[in-house]
Amino acid sequence: MKTETSIQGLSASLNPARSARKIIGFIPTMGNLHEGHLNLVREARKLCDVVVVSIFVNPIQFGPNEDFDNYPRTLEQDSHLLAEVGCDIVFAPSVEQMYGHHPRLTNIRVGEITNDLCGLQRPGHFDGVAVVVTKLFNIVQPNYAFFGQKDYQQLAVIKQLVRDLNMPIEVIGVPIARAEDGLALSSRNGYLSAEHRQIAPVIYQSLKQAEQDLHAGKALLDVLTEIRMQLTQAGFVVDYVEARTPMLQKSDQFDQDIVLFVAAKIGNTRLIDNLQIKHIL
């Protein structure tokens, strides 16, 4: 496995593969990798000849009150994990390398679907994601890019961006990796106290209960209220519980496939999760 820290170095590393028309797979990350990220690499490994993972903590997707400076940077440990699952190239550029050479004047906004859910609490966050992903796509020029379904809204934003701008890339969403008790894997789980870690799986349990209830015919709005109650009772402060279509349009009836979204805080840690629910006729 190679590590490249400059755009030029990465291009030089990728050029032979590109000339040979090999299939390039790409996974953008902010590092501090867990099993969820490694699953993305395993998926990429199946489809692609060359797998590139970027590790870049992107300053422009953090809000002024967010934890850019304290975001965990664990490049050495991440590199060991990536080598084990068969990553070929790690791209770990500096902020200088990505943004430093001249003032950036360009912004990309994917409207409507970034205004609510996580976008409501994090103004500008998805603009920052759209810009960095576009830059990384243009630098790596992959055939496939892999994103976790855990950040479902982010995945939908990137699919929309790729479609709207005719980017020559196929975006693949990979199912959420979960701990045995159902908690969706996340870098943020490391912030949980032992006690809160015990409570955290209630999110997934409430989503699975909702799925059962919906298939049993219970009304969608009642099911959403139920989730909210369960979470509050368990000690969460709920940010949102919502149902959307797969492309994030609002939905208050379970008359097509839907996705249930939860964001809730336990202690100081904000957790998100979602569950795709098939509409069975």
Q: What is the dihedral of CA 242, 144, 141, 162, to 10 degrees?
A: -40
- 65 touches a copy of itself by CB under 8 A: no
Burial class of residue 96 in the structure, from the number of CB atoms within 10 Å of its CB (0-12 exposed, 13-18 middle, 19+ buried): exposed
- 135 touches a copy of itself by CB under 8 A: yes
- 172 touches a copy of itself by CB under 8 A: no
Cβ 28 vs Cβ 57: under 8 Å:
no
Phi then psi dihedrals of residue 35, to 5 deg: -55, -35
Cα separation of 37 and 160, whole Å?
22
Question: Do the annotations mark residue 154 as ligand-binding?
Answer: yes
How many residues in the shown chain lie near a copy of itself by CB under 8 A?
29
Q: What is the dihedral of CA 118, 197, 275, 227, to 10 degrees?
A: -80
Question: Minimum Å distance from CB 145 to a copy of itself?
Answer: 14
User: 104 or 278, CB closer to a copy of itself?
Assistant: 104
- 153 touches a copy of itself by CB under 8 A: no
User: 80 or 104, CB closer to a copy of itself?
Assistant: 104
Question: Minimum Å distance from CB 129 to a copy of itself?
Answer: 12
- The question of whether 37 is a catalytic residue gets the answer yes
Cβ 99 vs Cβ 139: under 8 Å:
no
- 250 touches a copy of itself by CB under 8 A: no
- 20 touches a copy of itself by CB under 8 A: no
Closest alpha carbon to 157 in 118, 196, 205, 209: 118
- 61 touches a copy of itself by CB under 8 A: no
- 134 touches a copy of itself by CB under 8 A: yes
The residue from 81, 108, 199, 238 that contacts a copy of itself (CB under 8 A) is 108
**Which residue among the candidates 37, 80, 215, 279 is catalytic per the annotation?**
37
Cα separation of 67 and 72, whole Å?
9
* 235 contact partners, CB below 8 Å, separation of at least 6: 196, 199, 266
Given the rule CB under 8 A, which of 43-51, 133-141, 217-225, 256-264 is the region that contacts a copy of itself? 133-141
Question: Minimum Å distance from CB 124 to a copy of itself?
Answer: 13
- List of residues contacting a copy of itself (CB under 8 A): 7, 19, 21, 102, 104-113, 130-131, 134-135, 138-139, 141, 160-161, 163-168
Catalytic residue IDs: 37
